Amino acid sequence: MLKTGTFTRRGLGTLLAAGLLAGGLVGCANSDTGGDSGDGGDGSGNGTIVLGFSQVGAESGWRTANTTSVKEAAAEAGIELKFDDAQQKQENQIKAIRNFIQQKVDVIAFSPVVESGWDTVLKEAKDADIPVILTDRAVDSADTSLYKTFIGSDFVKEGRLSGEWLVEEKKAATGPVNIVELQGTTGSAPANDRKKGFAEAIAANPNLKIVASQSGDFTRAGGKQVMEQFLKANPKIDVLFAHNDDMGLGALEAITAAGKVPGKDITIITIDAVKDGMQALADGKFNFIAECSPLLGPQLMDLVKKVHAGESVPTRVETEETTFTQEQAKAALPTRKY
């Protein structure tokens, strides 16, 4: 019994090793011969572009809307989409990209789960002559020739737009305007960048002062808990700037519980424009939202066509985004996708 077991295990191991080796060999063969079309080759011959897209996962409404946008835009542009859901795991994503390379897709696009550790697999794609487009999140590879372009939101700009709106809104203010800030997860790129952009913009008016700034971890519960203490520690709060809608929505509850009227006693600015946030804006509880749009599908498909045709594209493409006031939110809400 024991002996058989050992053998089976060893057999399995050998098989696995052989499989890995074979995979490696195929990779090498591809890179050596470049355009050698094997059995899996399809697409480029009959004119349709094949796009391999690896998504982070489905962790939020924002992400789901992002996926839908990519799928719809691909169908509309007549691009064949091979979609992969990495379920928040980098190893799944690397596996998916290797599969795309083996299937000889024309273009690979993906939203990296994490920033680091992509050099090897991106090198494989480059060796196989498949252009790569990053969406939504960046990678930290020093070699920028590994990908063609990065399309995604500019978080600094989102913060700056929020700040600029506030400067305009409060330009008549004679006394100090006290601002409290709910930051995103400490150390995350959106939190750092939105904070930076906002601070730069409000520097234009010395009356605008951030009196307290804490992390609410991008969650409703976090936003509420922090806002409760802000309200108690600062008798006069004029403005709340939250790095996303959810923290703003949590803070709404704290503000109401403190007997204040959100949107009137306290001006509320958030970022993202998810449906619940837009609803609050339309209801007059928020005052301004800077959009962080997941709907980058159409722009992505344009880029896919361009890089496939060998045209040069800018290395950084910003998602088309807008901002919403209460009136604009009322108009936009019925057709809001996420």
Partner 1 sequence: MSTLRSRLPAVTGHRLFWPLVVLVLLIAANTVYRPSFLSVELKNGHLYGSLVDILRLSAPLILVALGMSLVIATGGIDLSVGSVVAVSGAVACLYISKQPDQNSLGGVVTALALAFGVALLLGVWNGTLVAVIGIQPIIATLILMVAGRGLAQLVTQGQIITVNSDPYRTIGVGHLVGLPFAIIVALAVTLLVAVLTRRTALGMIIEAVGGNAEASRLAGVRARRITLLVYVVSAACAGIAGFMMTANVSSADGNAAGLWVELDAILAVVIGGTSLAGGRFYLGGTIVGALLIQTLTTSVYAMSIDPQTALLFKAVVVIVVCLIQAPAFRARLRRRAATPTPPTTPAEQQKEQVPA
Contacting positions for partner 1 (CB under 8 A): 58-61, 63-64, 183, 186-187, 212-215, 217, 219-222, 224-226, 228-230, 232-233, 246, 249-250, 253, 257-259, 276
Phi/psi of residue 200, nearest 5 degrees:
-60, -45
Which residue number, 253 or 302, has a Cβ lying nearer to partner 1? 253
Q: State in angstroms the smallest separation of the CB of 226 from partner 1.
A: 5
- Rounded distance, CA 124 to CA 23, Å? 12
Three-class secondary structure of residue 232 per DSSP: helix
Structure tokens at 245: 């809608």
- Which amino acid appears at position 125 of this protein? A
Which residue number, 136 or 164, has a Cβ lying nearer to partner 1? 136
Which residue number, 133 or 237, has a Cβ lying nearer to partner 1? 237
Give Rg (Cα) of the chain: 24
Q: State in angstroms the smallest separation of the CB of 61 from partner 1.
A: 5
- Rounded distance, CA 51 to CA 30, Å? 19
Which residue number, 17 or 58, has a Cβ lying nearer to partner 1? 58
Which residue number, 170 or 275, has a Cβ lying nearer to partner 1? 275
Q: State in angstroms the smallest separation of the CB of 192 from partner 1.
A: 11
Q: State in angstroms the smallest separation of the CB of 253 from partner 1.
A: 6
Contact in structure between 304 and 105 (CB atoms under 8 Å): no
- Rounded distance, CA 285 to CA 302, Å? 37
Which residue number, 10 or 232, has a Cβ lying nearer to partner 1? 232
Contact in structure between 290 and 323 (CB atoms under 8 Å): yes
The alpha carbon dihedral of 248, 253, 259, 261 has a sign of: positive
Which residue number, 99 or 214, has a Cβ lying nearer to partner 1? 214
Contacts of 156 (CB under 8 A, 6+ apart): 193, 194, 196, 197, 200
In this structure, which long-range contacts are made by residues 286-289, counting pairs with CB atoms below 8 Å and at least 24 apart in sequence? Answer: 286/248, 286/262, 286/326, 286/329, 287/169, 287/263, 287/325, 287/326, 288/162, 288/165, 288/166, 288/169, 288/323, 288/324, 288/325, 289/245, 289/323, 289/324, 289/329
Which residue number, 247 or 304, has a Cβ lying nearer to partner 1? 247
Contact in structure between 84 and 96 (CB atoms under 8 Å): yes
